[in-house]
Amino acid sequence: MLARMLGVKDYKEAWDLQKDLVLQRLGGAIGDTLLLLEHPPVYTRGISSRALPPLGLPYPLYDVERGGDITYHGPGQLVGYPIVRLEERGLNPRSYLRALESILIESLRPLGIAGKTLKGFTGVWSGDKKVASIGVAVKSGVSYHGFALNIHCDLGPFHRIYPCNLEPEQLGTLQGALGRTLRFEDVQERIARSFLEFFPPLPPAATPRTRGRRLAPKPTL
């Protein structure tokens, strides 16, 4: 897997880039790729949403292919878009979601944060606060969209919506959980390393059929 750190990138640009990378991955032009970035303030709504979006949102709203409901992205939030050919990793969409949760939880442990999952919810929590949201799409077996990890972002824009069908007060940040300052770059580096460890290079001689039976390794940090 190649990790690309893109800095601050407009949502539409990053969305178009993902779709282009999915086509390249399907054609075998690239390997699995992880995009790590921040977005200027923006709202996105997944295909699971059943409610009309609130009126008067202060930032643009995009309807996208990922699962999940409406959420917010903005500065201080690390967004990750893994472009992964799931079958070659022995994954299906459901096990891939669980893998993303595990990678994030293991990544947070060295920072002193005990992440966890909650039954009936997708994402990662610290205490009673949700600190990471996950919503993915899969095209012809290749994943895109991904996760959003609240490092030290402003939670105010979440109060204009019901993020992923939660009360806004249920959202938190890593910095809030720790009670001390966190450097965005340190968390980003930790996440990148965790993905590279969880998704090591595939054996060149393996066929798609044998690779489909391989189980993705558990993260070891």
Cβ neighbours of residue 23 closer than 8 Å, sequence gap 6 or more: none
C-alpha 11/C-alpha 145 separation (Å) is 11
Which one is catalytic: 17, 91, 164, 174? 164
Residue type, 34: L
Helix (H, G, I), strand (E, B) or coil at 134: strand
164 is catalytic: yes
C-alpha 56/C-alpha 72 separation (Å) is 14
Dump strand ranges (E) for the chain. Answer: 2-8, 33-38, 42-45, 61-63, 70-73, 77-83, 115-116, 124-126, 129-139, 142-150
The count of other CB atoms within 10 Å of the CB of residue 58 is 9
Name the nearest CA neighbour of 76 among 218, 173, 176. 173
Active site residues: 164
